[in-house]
Structure formats: structure tokens, C-alpha cells
Amino acid sequence: MTTNKPSEWTDPGAWARPQSSPRLVVIAASAGGLAAVRRVLAVLPADFPAAIALVQHRGVQHPQLLPELLATWTRLQVRHARDGELLAPGVVYVCPPGMHMTAEHCLRLVEGPRLDYVRPNADLMLRSAARAYADRALAVVLSGKGVDGALGCLAIAQVGGVVIVQDPGSCDSPGMPAAAAQLGAHALVLPPERIGAVLQQLMEGPWQPPAPHPGNSPGHGLAATRVLLADDHRIMLDGLRGLLRSEHDMEVVGEAHDGRAAVRLSSELAADVVVMDIAMPNLDGIEATLQIVQSVGRAAPAKVVALSAFTDESMVQQILRAGASGYLTKQTAFTELVQAIRAVTAGEVYLSPDLKRATSFAGAASGERF
């Protein structure tokens, strides 16, 4: 193993792009990411036509059994990476504990200090993959705290590579995927169970996103739904924006960090739908919803979809009485929000499935107000 100083191996030198090597998938994960890694690898075939480099944050005190563990979940070959090793398709190369890993014409391992508090550093690996593989590099960022991987995803996107991030709503720790979705241009935001299948599609040809919703698509002569996000937690706003950015029939027109700003911006920005947190400063989401739906001077006030951690019946009833057209719990997947926005835009009332199962919410599900 090499023992270069950090100043030598962090220098963004021009590396020759491999001419005969396979495509390279770099998977970055940290806290809570192991379960997602398992789901991604479990569906990939033994003849998967790309090499996979796994950068999983873990301390040197942890047993070096990760390759053996992953091998029980996948048909791919799994092993610790070795310095100077040539990449081969159908192999998962796990960065050993205490090391950093980069990609040139081969894998390079470097003993060095933590970079931005983590080792191995995902940004380091992803940037090297962007230089060496250009548009044949793919980035996958799974559950993890912090923002490691975001700048690397930006580098991958800038050279034409594909960036996939785990739906932050399905993460134990959404920091890494939310940050990557914000910086990685046109990132695909997917639940972990879909990422493996999409990787296989990408090996066969360019990714084709789902067709826009027919009732709202630009191809039908209608403008995209204008969405205002209202939440006082930055991580939620980042995750929601990253999700909705990939929807062709939706446009995030602004963000509000408190209830009063939500009321003002819904009018100023002519929002069609406001995604509203309930517990916010200055003005709570219930009162803000009431003011939005009763706003004077707008022929069609914005629809409100509540997105809250509260699940008790009283809170749901209060915001529906205030005029909300939908209610989602933050325990549901972020992808359900897309369904809710389309439903309320079409004049329907949308409730999380777990709420609809309660008989007292049956009326609300059919459009009846309490």
C-alpha cells in the first residue's frame, strides 16, 4: 500500500481515462447505509457489466468482515480492494478500514488522516472516478450523516456521469443523500429497492425517466405545477427539493422557513400547491393553511398538502378543517408526496395510506370536510 502524503493524492492531476476498463459504479454510504447497500447489491446479476467500488464509513476498530457479510447478499464477487488492482466487471471492491481509495487506471489505496472528518472519504473517490472514467462513472449515495459525497456527485454530473441518491425519506440518516441531491445536477432520487434495477437499465442504455403525469405535462399544453415548500428544517427542504426536481410536471418556486413567510410567498409566487409543515415558528401550519386558502385577491388559492410528524387524529382534523387538501406523515416515503401533489392539483383529497385505514378519516379521503 502506498503512503503518499495527503497533498500528493488530493492534487486534481489529469489522469488518463481507461480505454478498455468497464464502467465504474461508486457507492458511498455511512450511518444506516448497510441495509440500503444490501438492497442494491441483492438484485444485481453475477454478470453485471461494471465494477463497483464501495466507500462505507467505518472505524478501524470494526472487524474487517464487511466483504464476507456482503457476499451473503449478492451474486457478485466481493472483496477488499488491493492497491494497484485492475478493475473488473461484476466485482465489488470494498475500501478497507483506515484507508482512502481512488480510481486511476487501477485502484489506489492510501493511508492518511480523515478528510472532512471521515475515512474513507467519498468525495475523494468520486472525484477521481469523474477524472478517470468521465461519463462512464456512476455515483450512488445512500444513507449517512453529513455531506460527504455531495461535491463528488457534482464532479460526476459535470462530466456527464449519472448520479443516483437514496430517497432521503427512506434513510436512517438523510444528510448525505439530501446534500448529494442538492448538488448533483439531475440526480435520480430513488428508494433503495429500485436503485439496483435502475443500475441495470443504465448498463443497457440511457436512463429514460417515467413519462410526466398526463393531466399536467407540458406536452399537453399546461404549465408545470408551481410548488412552495414550507418547513423550518433545512434537511427536509433539501430532500424535498431534490425529489421534486426530477418531476417534469412540477416546479419548486420557493421555500418558506416559517408560517408567515408561507402565507406571503404562496401569493407572491402564485404557488399552485404548498407543502406545509405543521410545527413552524411565527405562525403554525394550521393557521397558515387557513390564511392561504382564504386569501383574498386570488381566483384559485393554493392547495395545501400537510407534511408532518404528527399522526394523532386531532391534529389531522384541525388542518383539514383549516382547508388542507392532503396530509402526509413524515414516516412515509418522500416519493408519496409526488402522488399527493398530483392528486390535490386534480381536486382530490389525499391522505397517507396509514391514516386512511382509520375509519374516522374515511370521509376526508373521499373529499368530505370535517
**Among 230, 258, 198, 239, which Cα is nearest to 332's?**
239
All three cell numbers of 286, joined, read: 394550521
Return the bridge partners of 23, or none: 50
Look up cell 456512476; give the residue: 138
Q: Which amino acid is at 325?
A: S
CA atoms of 226 and 197, how far apart (whole Å): 31
57 is catalytic: yes
Question: Is there a contact between 116 and 148 (Cβ–Cβ < 8 Å)?
Answer: yes
DSSP 8-state assignment for residue 177? H
Spot the catalytic one: 21, 57, 143, 352: 57
30 is catalytic: yes
Spot the catalytic one: 123, 148, 167, 272: 148
Question: Is there a contact between 262 and 230 (Cβ–Cβ < 8 Å)?
Answer: yes
Spot the catalytic one: 30, 170, 173, 325: 30
Alpha carbon separation from 359 to 251, 301, 366 (Å, rounded)? 34, 29, 12
Cis peptide before 120 (omega within 30 of 0): yes
Question: Is there a contact between 196 and 43 (Cβ–Cβ < 8 Å)?
Answer: yes
| Measured CA angle at 126 (ends 120, 128), to 5 deg | 100
**Among 321, 151, 169, which Cα is nearest to 231's?**
169
Return the bridge partners of 166, or none: 190
**Among 345, 80, 86, which Cα is nearest to 223's?**
345
CA atoms of 78 and 4, how far apart (whole Å): 26
**Among 330, 300, 277, which Cα is nearest to 170's?**
330
Rg (CA), the chain: 23
Positions marked active-site: 30, 57, 148
